């Protein structure tokens, strides 16, 4: 759909629009996924396909369940007592929450970067080598570490001090180290939960540049509360919002999912438009 | 101007402020002065007796040749036993409670409450327990090993609590990071949580050890003997420094009181060096996250 299209299209859709034909194969097919904590729905009935080698952004106001939702993909909600995932997530056609699925195996293929850089209190080298060591990949560890650091655009800054503590790095470097750490196990997907929210603008730019690089080989899912960031990095954008029930229960819902340009220029839902134009949130 | 200046001047509150500060100072002085007085008294009385001969001779009825060698050796053995017994059990319990136990289960909550309470049980109660179950019940007898086992019971709750604190202070973001890479729970605990918690665990264990080595009551209760003319063995009769001190103080001759003071110095040196190691460990490995 061209940007010069004057008429904003406002069609009520049960299922979000199918993305542009240029999109790669579907990596995740999310079908009616919800997450509940102790019986309270935090996220409700989300359905969306996620495509390979693209950046898919999830935006929305605080409390809309963005982070909860992204943690569905690598079983991180399993670690929270009382959390339950409903619905179906197909990963290359295979149910991520099927009976025989081992969360540990899932996480090996679906890496994650967190909001606050969380390097291990070990050396830079040991941080990156942790994944391969856990997997028992002993051969060529040095090369593996170098490759991961290179991909995370950190190698040149740390190659002379691989043995020094990761805690001595700056915030932005720590976050790129965490990305390198996630890359070292050669995942297919990288989940990023507000990866730049704790960083300064320059460090943020570097992370965003990095995402443009990485999406050639990886499928990236990013949660962000920064709309400009979504506009800059994402191919597809999903807008989540909070549905407040009459009795006060708050549930995150998917409002709209489309190409990023469309979400920001011609959203088809009034709530999306209010949010992206800054009238809300 | 003059009106404003008045507002800036001190009001008559100095008095209370000073009173409060002096009260604080007095509390400090009471505690500190008592300790200093004790130390000075002990050192003045006993220092001249802390000789090589004292450290290497067995006790004797003749104060001029009596020494504390068996007691010192037994205290060292007890210390080794304490570390060997309490650290694995204590750390294991702490890992279970912090990393594996589901807090929603009643038995786990009961375990937690019990451990807290056990830490507050007077040591003599452990002595009675030890006498009934270890010395007589399993028929170990009045031997050094029994003493070590009972002191283990005495300090175990403290070690567990310290280890739990240390494990809990490892931020959750570290665990999440490790899980997200595909580590199993065991790998997360073994490779991330434990290494990060070790300084805290070591500090707690050493402080617990120094508490255990100062214990007298439970050992007296299970029948540690004061007069041993030979080096203690694990399965033989034993004494320990606090008991030797207690025994010497009870004797009528002034010379034995001086020997007791000498033994107190030896015990203090052992305990204070352990505490120093604990403090050094804590400072050496202090982490920021």
Query: In which band, very low, low, confident or very high, does the pLDDT at B222 lie, cut at 50, 70 and 90?
Result: confident
**Chain A residue whose CA is closest to B187:** A134
Closest C-alpha to A33, from A21, A41, A25: A41
Three-state secondary structure of A179-191: HHHHHCCCCCEEE
- The pLDDT of residue B3 is 52
Between CA B144 and CA A276 the distance in angstroms is: 76
- The pLDDT of residue B140 is 83
A interface mutation test: which of B109, B180, B191, B196 has the most A CBs within 10 A?
A: B180
Residues of A in contact with B98 (CB under 8 A): none
Using an 8 Å Cβ cutoff, are A96 and A89 in contact? yes
**Chain B residue whose CA is closest to A127:** B178
- The pLDDT of residue B62 is 85
Residues of A in contact with B191 (CB under 8 A): 130, 133-134
> Of B286 and B49, which is predicted with more confidence?
B49
Residues of B in contact with A76 (CB under 8 A): 176, 179-180
- The pLDDT of residue A244 is 87
Query: In which band, very low, low, confident or very high, does the pLDDT at A8 lie, cut at 50, 70 and 90?
Result: very low
Give the tens place of pLDDT for each residue, B174-217. Answer: 999 999 999 999 999 999 999 999 889 998 998 899 889 988 88
Using an 8 Å Cβ cutoff, are B17 and B229 in contact? no
- The pLDDT of residue B21 is 93
- The pLDDT of residue A198 is 86
Residue A156 neighbours by CB distance under 10 Å: 9
Beta bridge partners of A34: A86
Q: CB-CB: which of B181, B182, B287 is closest to A121?
A: B287
Average pLDDT of span B123-148: 88
Burial code (b: 16+ CB inside 10 Å, e: under 16) for B96-105 equals: ebbbebeeee
Pairing mode, if any, of strands A236-244 and A94-95?
Answer: unpaired
Q: Is the pLDDT of residue A3 over 70?
A: no
Q: Is the pLDDT of residue B235 over 50?
A: yes
Residues of B in contact with A134 (CB under 8 A): 178, 181-184, 187, 191
Using an 8 Å Cβ cutoff, are B265 and B46 in contact? yes
Q: Measured between alpha carbons, how far is residue A112 from residues A75, B26, B216, B256 in Å?
A: 11, 57, 55, 69
Chain-chain contact of B181 with A79 (C-beta, under 8 angstroms): no
- Which of the given ranges, B5-9, B10-14, B20-24, has the highest pLDDT on average? B20-24
Give the tens place of pLDDT for each residue, A95-149. Answer: 999 989 999 999 999 999 999 999 999 999 999 999 999 998 988 999 999 999 9
Give the tens place of pLDDT for each residue, B204-215. Answer: 998 899 889 988
Pairing mode, if any, of strands A55-59 and A40-51?
Answer: unpaired
Query: In which band, very low, low, confident or very high, does the pLDDT at B287 lie, cut at 50, 70 and 90?
Result: low
Burial code (b: 16+ CB inside 10 Å, e: under 16) for B3-32 equals: eeeeeeeeeeeeeeeeeeeeeeeeeeeeee
Q: Is the pLDDT of residue A59 over 50?
A: yes
Give the least confident one: A19-23, B23-27, B31-35, B159-163.
Answer: A19-23
Give the tens place of pLDDT for each residue, A154-200. Answer: 999 999 999 999 999 999 999 999 999 999 999 999 999 999 988 89
Query: In which band, very low, low, confident or very high, does the pLDDT at A264 lie, cut at 50, 70 and 90?
Result: very high
Joined together, the tokens standing for residue A39 give 């019986």
- By the 10 Å C-beta count (0-12 exposed, 13-18 middle, 19+ buried), A171 is classed as middle
- The pLDDT of residue A21 is 43
- The pLDDT of residue B8 is 72
- The pLDDT of residue A72 is 95
**Chain A residue whose CA is closest to B287:** A121
Burial code (b: 16+ CB inside 10 Å, e: under 16) for A49-77 equals: bbbbbbbbbbbbeebbbbbbbbbbbbbbb
Query: In which band, very low, low, confident or very high, does the pLDDT at A6 lie, cut at 50, 70 and 90?
Result: very low
Using an 8 Å Cβ cutoff, are B258 and B46 in contact? yes
Q: CB-CB: which of B173, B182, B287 is closest to A114?
A: B173
Average pLDDT of span B4-32: 82
Using an 8 Å Cβ cutoff, are A3 and A265 in contact? yes
3-state secondary structure of A259: strand
Q: Nearest CA of chain B to the CA of A182: how many Å?
A: 6
Query: In which band, very low, low, confident or very high, does the pLDDT at A1 lie, cut at 50, 70 and 90?
Result: very low
Chain-chain contact of A130 with B191 (C-beta, under 8 angstroms): yes
- The pLDDT of residue A229 is 92
Chain-chain contact of B289 with A108 (C-beta, under 8 angstroms): no
Query: In which band, very low, low, confident or very high, does the pLDDT at A260 lie, cut at 50, 70 and 90?
Result: very high
**Chain A residue whose CA is closest to B177:** A118
Q: Is the pLDDT of residue A2 over 90?
A: no
Residues 6+ apart with CB under 8 A from B273: none
Q: Nearest CA of chain B to the CA of A277: how many Å?
A: 34
Q: Is the pLDDT of residue A32 over 80?
A: yes
What average pLDDT does chain B have?
Answer: 88
Residue B33, CA atoms < 13 Å, CB-side half-sphere: 6
Give the tens place of pLDDT for each residue, A62-71. Answer: 888 999 999 9
**Chain B residue whose CA is closest to A77:** B176
- The pLDDT of residue B286 is 67
CA A40 to chain CA centroid, Å, is 23
Between CA B9 and CA B4 the distance in angstroms is: 9
Beta strands in A110-175 (DSSP E): 110-113
């Amino acid at each position: 759909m061209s940007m010069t299209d004057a008429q904003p299209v406002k069609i009520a859709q049960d299922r979000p629009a199918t993305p542009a034909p240029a999109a790669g194969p579907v990596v995740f097919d999310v079908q009616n996924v919800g997450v509940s904590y102790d019986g309270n729905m935090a996220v409700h009935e989300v359905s969306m396909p996620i495509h390979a080698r693209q950046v898919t952004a999830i935006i929305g106001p605080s409390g809309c369940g963005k982070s909860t939702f992204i943690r569905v993909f690598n079983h991180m909600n399993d670690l929270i007592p009382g959390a339950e995932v409903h619905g179906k997530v197909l990963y290359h056609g295979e149910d991520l929450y099927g009976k025989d699925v081992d969360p540990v195996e899932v996480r090996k293929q679906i890496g994650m970067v967190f909001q606050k850089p969380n390097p291990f209190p070990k050396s830079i080298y040991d941080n990156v080598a942790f994944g391969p060591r856990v997997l028992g990949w002993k051969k060529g560890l040095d090369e593996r570490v170098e490759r991961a650091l290179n991909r995370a655009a950190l190698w040149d800054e740390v190659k002379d001090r691989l043995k020094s503590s990761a805690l001595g790095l700056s915030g932005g470097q720590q976050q790129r180290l965490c990305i390198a750490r996630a890359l070292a196990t050669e995942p297919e997907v990288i989940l990023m939960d507000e990866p730049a929210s704790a960083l300064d603008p320059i460090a943020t730019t570097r992370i965003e540049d990095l995402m443009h690089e990485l999406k050639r080989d990886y499928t990236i899912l990013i949660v962000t509360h920064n709309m400009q960031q979504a506009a800059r990095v994402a191919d597809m954008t999903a807008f989540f919002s909070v549905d407040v029930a009459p009795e006060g229960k708050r549930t995150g819902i998917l409002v709209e999912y489309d190409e990023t340009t469309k979400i920001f220029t011609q959203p088809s839902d009034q709530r999306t438009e209010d949010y992206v134009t800054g009238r809300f949130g | 101007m003059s009106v404003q200046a008045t507002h800036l001047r001190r009001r008559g509150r100095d008095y209370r402020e000073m009173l409060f500060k002096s009260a604080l100072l007095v509390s400090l002085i009471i505690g500190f002065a008592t300790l200093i007085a004790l130390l000075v008294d002990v050192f003045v009385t006993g220092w001249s007796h802390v000789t090589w001969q004292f450290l290497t001779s067995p006790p004797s009825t003749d104060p001029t040749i009596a020494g504390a060698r068996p007691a010192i050796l037994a205290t060292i053995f007890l210390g080794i036993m304490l570390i060997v017994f309490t650290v694995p059990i204590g750390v294991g319990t702490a890992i279970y409670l912090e990393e594996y136990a589901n807090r929603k289960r009643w038995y786990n909550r009961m375990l937690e409450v019990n451990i807290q309470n056990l830490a507050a049980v007077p040591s003599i109660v452990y002595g009675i327990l030890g006498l009934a179950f270890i010395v007589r019940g399993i028929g170990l007898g009045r031997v050094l090993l029994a003493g070590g086992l009972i002191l283990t019971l005495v300090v175990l709750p403290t070690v567990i609590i310290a280890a739990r604190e240390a494990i809990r202070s490892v931020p959750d973001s570290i665990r999440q990071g490790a899980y997200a890479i595909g580590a199993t729970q065991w790998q997360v605990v073994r490779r991330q949580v434990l290494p990060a918690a070790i300084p805290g665990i070591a500090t707690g264990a050493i402080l617990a050890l120094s508490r255990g080595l100062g214990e007298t009551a439970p050992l007296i209760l299970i029948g540690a003997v004061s007069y041993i003319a030979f080096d203690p063995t694990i399965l033989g009769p034993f004494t320990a420094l606090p008991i030797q001190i207690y025994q010497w103080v009870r004797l009528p001759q002034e010379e034995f009181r001086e020997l007791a003071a000498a033994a107190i110095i030896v015990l203090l040196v052992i305990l204070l060096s352990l505490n120093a190691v604990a403090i050094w460990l804590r400072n050496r490995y202090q982490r920021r996250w």
